[in-house]
Structure 1
Amino acid sequence: MMNKIKLLVVAFFLISFASFAQSNDQPLKIGYTNVEYILLQLPESKQIESDLKTHSTQLENQLKGKYAEYEAKLQAYEKGAATMDKTIREDKEKELMNMNNSIQEFQRTAQMSLQQKEKSLVDPVIAKIDKAIKEVAKESGYTYVISNQALLAGPEDGDISPLVLKKLGVDPSKVQQTPEPAASTPAATKPATSTKNNKKKN
């Protein structure tokens, strides 16, 4: 059981972008990097965060508007329910139930909308990073490039992150240090998580 778990973890984190061996007798050369770290250093990451925040705020404002309308109708119903005709009261109750269902459905679709927005913004940048990694690996003779999240130990010169950043037009000397393998967090997931928590509170 333990071996199966280890294999799953390795399969999840080990990113073999491609084999760049030019001949059968070329020595094995393995490099490592962190795609999430690279993404954080790119100017696009700030724009992604800003766009997601804007989209999230728009969705939250719509949700607040729905809540406000529901609360107003609920209070009006509670004040007049005792004197309402049965038919009118049942109609109001049905209206409130439909509004409540609409709010719940909006919460679900809003979360999906935010995730789709995030994917549409992040995927092109990840593709650009992937291309840069492959180019650096080929130019520098790396047979494989793995995620440093799967790396337990390795030489510092195996980290190709500075070369990838340079390939992407970012000065490696002006960025933060490469994070520890277990410490990386996708920048783009933060707005989505924050939004989800906010909606639960409302």
Structure 2
Amino acid sequence: MQRVQNYNQEAQDKAKQAAQTKFAPIQQKAMEAIKSVAKKSGYAYILDINSVLVGPPGDDILPLVKKEMGIVEKPAATSPATKTPAKTGGN
């Protein structure tokens, strides 16, 4: 039983490490884009909403960062339930 638990823990650790390895370049690119947007837009501070408990509303720079990173928003697809049914000929 102990060997199975050790194997399970080892597998989880390896999966976590692999995910961090893949995520690190994306995180670095995002941070570089945030810094670039801050510099271009004249921001002295960029705060993460998760780290601010109370504060006045601020600017949302997400669209600027997405543009800096070359991320293009795709329009939301309409679900089949909201589409108008096609008219058919006949009774």
Alignment pair present for 1:117 and 2:18: yes
TM-score scaled by length of structure 2? 0.71
Q: Secondary structure at the match of 2:47?
A: strand
In the other structure, the counterpart of 2:61 is 160
Cα distance, 1:124 vs. partner?
1.1
User: TM-score when scaled to structure 1?
Assistant: 0.34
Q: What's the counterpart of residue 80 of structure 2?
A: none
- Give the superposed CA RMSD: 2.0
- CA distance in 2 between counterparts of 1:120 and 1:175 reads 31
1:128 to 8, 29, 34: 29
- Give the superposition deviation at 1:175: 6.9
- Which structure is higher in RCO with an 8 Å CA cutoff and minimum separation 6? 1
Q: What SS does the corresponding residue of 1:145 show, helix, strand or coil? A: coil
User: Secondary structure at the residue paired with 1:144?
Assistant: coil
Task: Give the distance between the partners of 1:175 and 1:146, measured in 2 at CA.
Answer: 28
Q: Deviations over 1:1-33 (max 9, x none)?
A: xxxxxxxxxxxxxxxxxxxxxxxxxxxxxxxxx
Query: Which runs of structure 1 show a deviation greater than 2 angstroms over 4 or more consecutive aligned residues?
Result: none
Unaligned runs of 5+ in 1: 1-99, 177-202
Q: 1: distance between equivalents of 2:67 and 2:23? A: 20
User: Which one has the largest radius of gyration?
Assistant: 1
Residues 165-189 of structure 1: CA distance to partner in whole angstroms, max 9, x if unpaired? 01111124x378xxxxxxxxxxxxx
Q: State the Cα deviation string for residues 92-117 of structure 1 (Å, max 9, x = none).
A: xxxxxxxx332121011011011101
1:151 CA displacement:
6.0
User: Equivalent of 2:39, from 138, 146, 156?
Assistant: 138
Looking at structure 2, the residues matched to 123 and 103 of structure 1 have their Cα atoms a distance apart, in angstroms, of: 30
Residue 161 of structure 1 aligns to which amino acid in structure 2? Answer: L
Gap regions ≥5 residues in structure 2: 77-91
More helix by share: 1
Query: Aligned pairs, how many?
Result: 74
